[in-house]
């Protein structure tokens, strides 16, 4: 019964961390897609969002680049993070999450 309880708790931790990383990637992409902001600032924003939520050391790498997605200019933020196996500790670089947002332009 103890192992079942610990397993359920670990799945809950993993789902929470996955949602935090995904939301950070999307937030970073939308921030980097603003007309007066550089795409690299979106990567910085995504890293800060994860660090505020779960602490330092969880994110391995964050990159941002300008891409064309579905024929439209967009910003893509990729967050590589640890896949949690025991609490927040686990496989480094086990998760890669991508967030995209349409690039904003000034008239």
pLDDT number for residue 14: 84
Domain boundaries of the chain, sorted by first residue: 2-102
Give yes or no for a contact between 62 and 79, defined as CB atoms under 8 angstroms apart: yes
Q: What backbone torsions phi and psi does residue 79 show, to the nearest 5 degrees?
A: -115, 125
**Radius of gyration, alpha carbons of the chain:** 16
Give yes or no for a contact between 95 and 80, defined as CB atoms under 8 angstroms apart: yes
Task: Spell out the alpha helix ranges (H) of 33-95.
Answer: 39-54
Residue pLDDT, tens place only, 4-58: 998 898 888 888 888 999 999 999 999 999 988 888 999 999 999 998 988 887 8
Residue pLDDT, tens place only, 49-96: 998 988 887 888 899 999 889 888 999 999 998 887 776 677 777 889
Length of the chain: 107
């Amino acid at each position: 019964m103890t192992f079942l309880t610990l397993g359920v708790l670990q799945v809950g931790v993993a789902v929470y961390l996955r949602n935090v990383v995904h939301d950070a990637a999307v937030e970073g992409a939308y921030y980097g897609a603003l007309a007066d902001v550089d795409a690299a600032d979106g990567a910085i924003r995504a890293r800060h969002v994860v660090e505020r939520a779960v602490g330092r050391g969880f994110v391995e790498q964050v990159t941002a680049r300008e891409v064309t997605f579905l024929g439209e200019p967009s910003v893509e933020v990729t967050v590589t993070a640890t896949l949690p196996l025991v609490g927040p500790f686990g496989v480094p670089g086990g998760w890669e999450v991508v967030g995209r947002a349409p690039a904003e332009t000034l008239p």
